[in-house]
Structure 1
Amino acid sequence: MINKGYLLGDRYRIIDTLGEGGMANVYLAEDIILQRKVAVKILRLDLQKEPQTLARFQREALATSELSHPNIVMVLDVGTDHGLPYMVMEYVDGPDLKEYIRTNSPLNLGNIIKIMDQILSAMSLAHKHNVIHRDLKPQNILMDKHGNIKIADFGIAVALNQNSVTQTNSAIGSVHYMSPEQTRGGLVTKQSDIYSLGIIIYELITGNVPFNGDSAVSIALKHAQEPIPSIRKQDPNIPQPLENVVLKATAKDPRDRYNSAKEMKDDLDTSLEPGRANEPVFKPTHGNNDDETIILPNFKPSRVVEKTDAENRTQDKTNDYHKNRSSFTQALRKYKWWWLFVGFAAILIIGLMFFVLNNNKNSDIRIPDVTNLSEKKARNKLESVGLKVGKIKHRNSDSIDRGKVIETAPVAGSEIKRGRYIDLYISDGAGMVQVPDVTGDEYGIAVQKLEKLGFEVIRENQFSSSVPPDHVISQSVAADVEVKPEQTTITLVISKGKNPRSKHHMIKLPDLKDYSLKQAQEFAHKHGLTLQVSSAYSSKVKKGMIISMSPAAGTQVPRGSTISVNVSEGAKKERDLTAIKNFTVSYEDNDEDDSDNKRGNHVQIYIADDNHSIDNIYRDLYIKKDMNFSIPFELRDGPGQLKVVRDGQVILNEKVKND
């Protein structure tokens, strides 16, 4: 597994895990040069020294990179990172076709044709380049949010001129969608892909695959020997021409199938036309395949050995000899019907016992609730009732702690067969949340807004002549900054109204919009005011100048009041924040003053990044309780710096890197 944040090939920053497979793992990443999300497939660490796996990985990259089509996942880059091969592909933000069918079945026939047209168009191009996919199935077909199809996973695709395609005793792919000749390890052609496409249409129409079984062997045998179940018997409203497309594509003999994906697409596109309504049922002309044996890799069917005629004659003579010599045999012949009855009863009892035991073994199990358990505990709980853990998927959750289970798929309480796989969704903690602007709000409303998003709120009271009592004067984390609520505490400075003892110490505020941040800090220091600084991008106000202020210019405020200013960061650049530094400043009660007007520890924060100098105060405030901070840094030009001063003493001074 590759850790989140890792910079692959000095260009692709890993964001999350999208899937884990037998050959490779797929990650969501950010291309830091082109500023876009991509999917990165990385060969598993334990397989990088296996020549066959490495060749298959390289073959997928080669096969896909040669196919430029809007319905085929595009390969953007191929490379190695410290000897580990990787492949960068376009990121498709949406479900695979299997999940889409499960969620939306039954599908509209027009929508089915629209989906299949895109798939057939892509496969027509692949076949034109003599590339056979060999593993077409809904799980390898992705769909973006606009309904556009993207075929992926050419990991076992081969070119028609490669020797490996003609190897016998070798079947690769999903058995539910595999052609009869493919299960026998025979010659794989374009018609093998067309068979798989026929099964996909069947599933789009009915919501299910045509054949299921207890093992891969039994499913493969059905594909080779049994006719495709009639779609019209399940739903008489399905037009016969549409069923004929399925029947022709899935004919047992490849000669009865469509000659090309384009021919299949042309036939499908006219299947709903009224002129074809009375079309007869498709009948193959070459009959069923008469092969008696199906050979699949890693399948071990029972071996049946038949005796020769000579062996049978020898056995008959031996039996006659013993019959003539055995009184037991004579008794058996005398009471043969009674013995037949006993034998039949014994077989019936044994069969009944086998059925009961087998039924008990495969009985349904109710999926236990493993919400809020760690992955290990959830795994143990599921395995204790006879279930197995399948895929591990991660996502953010505002209610479930990091590393704990959010939910299972299928969901808890569902009944499922013993031995089936259960997917786990693991929490990555709360996602990034944009801090709302609550200045000017009534305290109760402001708290409700912030706590609903998961923030912890601290109240600090302060006199104000401009802000009504019990309303927010300022907030410790600026509005619109993105932080993690679970790691952030926001202090709200709340108005106590006018200070009756401050009538003769009122200060009229100038228009700070004409001030730089440094000039505003000097004014605040001269008049005993506290400056609360936030920042924002502006294409109109020069970097370092004040954009806005609160209270407004001309307002009279008492000494000790807090003035909030918003400082321009200049025009917004191509890239937003690249790092967020989370830290806590602890409160130290060193002041003997216990009055209501005690201000607490004086905290000053200095930062250095692409937009700030370490010589200027970034944030200036007083705290009366331990406080968490989340400071954003923009670090395109190297590391930054953070310095925190509490009551005149430096308590934190460190470099900040973009990890």
Structure 2
Amino acid sequence: MIDKGYLLGERYRIIDTLGEGGMANVYLAEDIILQRKVAVKILRLDLQNEPQTQARFQREALATSELSHPNIVSVLDVGTDHGLPYMVMEYVDGPDLKEYIRENSPLDLREVIRIMDQILSAVALAHKHNVIHRDLKPQNILMDKRGNIKIADFGIAVALNQSSITQTNSVMGSVHYMSPEQTRGGLVTKQSDIYSLGIILYELITGTVPFNGDTPVSVALKHAQEPIPSIRKKDKSVPQALENVVLKATAKDPRDRYASAQVMKADLDSSLDPERSDEPIFVPNHGNSDDKTIVLPGFKPQKTTAEESKKEEKSEVEETPKKEKKSFWQNVKAHKWWWIFSVIAAGLIIFIMIFALSGNNQPKQVNVPDVTNIAENAAERRLEAAGLQVGKIIRRQSDDVKKGYVIATNPTAGNSLDRGKSVNLIVSSGSSMVKVPDVVGDDYDKAAEKLENQGFDVVREDQFSSKITQGNIISQSIAAGVEVKPTQTTITLVVSRGKAPRQRSNTVTLKDLHNYSLKSAQDYARDHGLTLQINQEYSDDVEKGLIISMDPGPGTKVDRGSTIAIKVSRGPKEEKETTITKNFTVNYVGTADDSAGETDNNKDEDSSSSKSSSTKGDHVQIYIKDDDHYLSNIYRDLYIKRDMSFSIPFSIKNGAGQLRVVRNGETILNEKVTK
């Protein structure tokens, strides 16, 4: 154990213990340079003398630092302190998922999917970097105060899995989430992580794990031998499609599980859709089989000796009754061309048997094959080979699946369908950035379907128009050709209502819209049959959201249906904050002021001791002035017994900052800090 107050790596002061594990301990610490709380994972003291273990810890910590994802705990620093390896991570101030489930179960199903989506997204990135977690469980999944998921311990399970350092307690603690192949000591793959994800999803839905037992071995045997208990028997409100996600992820045979975390996420995201309400229960293709020998009734074993064979032939000949008159076939056989008739007859019999078998033995139902992550044409051929037809081809943006490859099917893989039924393919249209298509003048229904299939959210607004046919699009809120992320973009389509009702005059005298709100301008345009073209720009004079100018200008007479261009204020342009880091060194002189430690009660934790200042070293006080600090307040207050370097960040938008350093009551540094 590391004592509280210990300064690890001359930078991280230990505050408290967060957890103790079989291979490493985790501490809450303060980064004295950046003044923030961090979590520090330190290899256990009893393992520090194993060079191989230290090398693995260092290598895996560095590898984990490459997993940059909002739902993975960030690795901030890696180092050693007196030969003891440590890893510094972001501190997540919140419960782990196990605690969250215990306190909030039952969870709303949409909340379950929101949580699982974050977990699956993080695991997908790890698998992309060929990092298999091996120990996914709610205890390793943290949740911050805003409900964001953070997965911890990525890569460590892979690094520390050798027999010399495996700790029984750490393995047994995870047995509730282990795949059957892990409990048998088999090869661990990405599908092993997917099994654990399925168990976590089960627990999110039901509040409990599927298997419990008196010993870890009994739980492991249940994972290997027993089917996952039905969720719908406990709660009928859970859709079959959602239970199917659990069943497929936790299939005993890894071949029946999802091919990847991305595919599982795509299936999960549509599990509450109404069109999947009648989905049949998932049935794996590679179920456990009984390797028992079945003896068919009436089967006779083959004779093993020539003598027995001759006896049987003789008995059969003796038992054959003699006929006084030859049959038709006997007459044919007696003819010298008898063999020609035999061949023709045999061929007819074989043809009839093949025809009968092909017509009668085909199963009425077939399982939808898994065609995810393969090319569209190959997927179509595989569906047709399985006896199914290809239905709609739906194009959808994907950051994870290559363009032209299948994201998912509807119904999903593993479902049973009648032979000849159609299966829709959801095919990747490529990466997230796509060009907005030009739909002005198009029929609204067709344009909206086109945009939604690309992943856009579509909002409709109706306006009168004397030029555009009713039901067709007058304008679109994002110009054609602009590259955007469809899943994060809403496009407003202004749709023609046809010509405005006949009024006294077909012309409008424009009023001055300057300083009107955008909503007021839109109401005015709608009431007078006008179309607005909206542009935005920064303004120091006009409040954000108000109209800066209009074209044509106020007082202009225009026809109803005309387009008016307006500029809307985005407010003043904010100057980008600048962070400047000031580096300096304070030399140790060993002549501390005796009164320095007695005049200020607000010192750091060392100043509370009863020792005199001369035994504590030089008393250093740092003052800074920037956008967040005043020069009159002490920024840092500490004692040093050696030369110490500092790195102080300054936040400066305008003007300049200031740095002042006092050692033993004497100012040794006082200078301005500018951009």
User: What TM-score bracket applies, with the shorter chain setting the length?
Assistant: 0.3 to 0.5
TM-score by length of 2: 0.43
TM-score by length of 1: 0.44
